[in-house]
């Protein structure tokens, strides 16, 4: 089974360039072309689907995603709006299983993917919340022998001294405790940091998916100033086979043609 993970697309209306120079829409189109050729079993979009959380952006995102052939599951990030996600993607029934958080369990071929909603409206930082942590615990306890992947937008684990505060999920330690209690959790996958990052997480592996829009600069030292990198954007492919470790490939998107800044 191949699970494609795309993240942090940051789509803007009318093909506007992100920060005046990054072709987020063109990159997403290239990504979808690649995914259609690869034919994954499903695609997870782990948040920051659009840049400003407005209706025109979701309308354009829906247009961009229409050619995707694989089943698609959308998750919110800090730039998203839950109500507009439901409005513009009404056929995505999983968006309506909870009236508050957009959480859901995907059952696919002997694997469970547990989608968590870490979005706090108006905040860059994330949190899962006590009620959703209880929901997660019940789902894991109810199927202890089924391999599971947990997916959310904000990384629930530290990644470097630079990425703290609004780059983190506030109740990440509680999620890590839940993972440690359930050996069937294989991966905890996230986005938000626009880089390919891997960490140990109890018995599992935590990962951060690159952005399809733009890559953040490498910032390991605490006082490294924020910058956008010239590294290509990309996405993850997670290969799962029963009774075998998950293999994750990072796929980089080809360099886009230089584009002029918005007038």
pLDDT of residue 255: 67
Whole-number Å distance between alpha carbons of 179 and 185: 6
Give the pairing of strands 204-208 and 197-201: antiparallel
Domains of the chain, by residue range, sit at 2-252
3-state secondary structure of 222: coil
Given this model, what pLDDT does residue 99 score? 76
| pLDDT value, residue 206 | 97
Collapsed DSSP state (helix, strand, coil) of residue 182: coil
Q: Which fold has domain 2-252?
A: Purple Acid Phosphatase; chain A, domain 2 (3.60.21)
Handedness of CA 141, 144, 146, 148 (dihedral sign): positive
Query: What are the pLDDT digits (tens) for 106-148?
Result: 999 899 999 999 999 999 999 999 999 999 999 999 999 999 9
Walk along the chain (263 residues) in steps of 10 and give the mean pLDDT of each run.
Answer: 98 94 96 98 98 98 98 97 97 89 93 97 94 96 96 91 69 95 97 95 96 90 82 97 94 70 40
DSSP 38-68: H--SEEEEES--BSS--HHHHHHHHHHHTT-
């Amino acid at each position: 089974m191949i699970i494609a993970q795309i993240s942090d697309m940051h789509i803007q209306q009318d093909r506007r360039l992100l920060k005046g120079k990054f072709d987020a829409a063109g990159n997403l189109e290239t990504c979808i072309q690649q995914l259609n050729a690869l034919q994954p079993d499903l695609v997870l979009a782990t948040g920051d689907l659009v840049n400003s959380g407005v209706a025109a952006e979701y309308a354009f995102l829906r247009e961009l995603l229409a050619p995707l052939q694989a089943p698609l599951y959308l998750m919110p990030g800090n730039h998203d709006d839950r109500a507009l996600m439901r409005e513009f993607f009404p056929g995505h029934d999983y968006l309506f299983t909870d009236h508050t958080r957009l959480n859901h369990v995907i059952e696919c071929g002997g694997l469970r993917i547990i989608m968590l909603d870490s979005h706090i409206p108006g905040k860059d930082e994330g949190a899962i919340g006590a009620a959703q942590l209880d929901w997660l615990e019940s789902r894991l306890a109810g199927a202890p022998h089924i391999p599971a992947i947990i997916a959310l937008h904000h990384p629930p684990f530290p990644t470097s001294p630079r990425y703290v505060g609004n780059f983190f999920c506030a109740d990440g330690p509680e999620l890590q405790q839940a993972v440690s209690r359930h050996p069937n959790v294989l991966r905890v996958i996230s986005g938000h940091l626009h880089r390919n990052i891997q960490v140990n997480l109890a018995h599992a592996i935590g990962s951060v998916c690159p952005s399809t829009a733009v890559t953040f600069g490498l910032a390991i030292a605490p006082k490294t100033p924020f910058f956008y990198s010239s590294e290509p954007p990309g996405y993850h492919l997670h290969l799962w086979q029963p009774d075998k470790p998950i293999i994750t490939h990072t796929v980089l998107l080809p360099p886009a043609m230089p584009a002029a800044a918005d007038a």
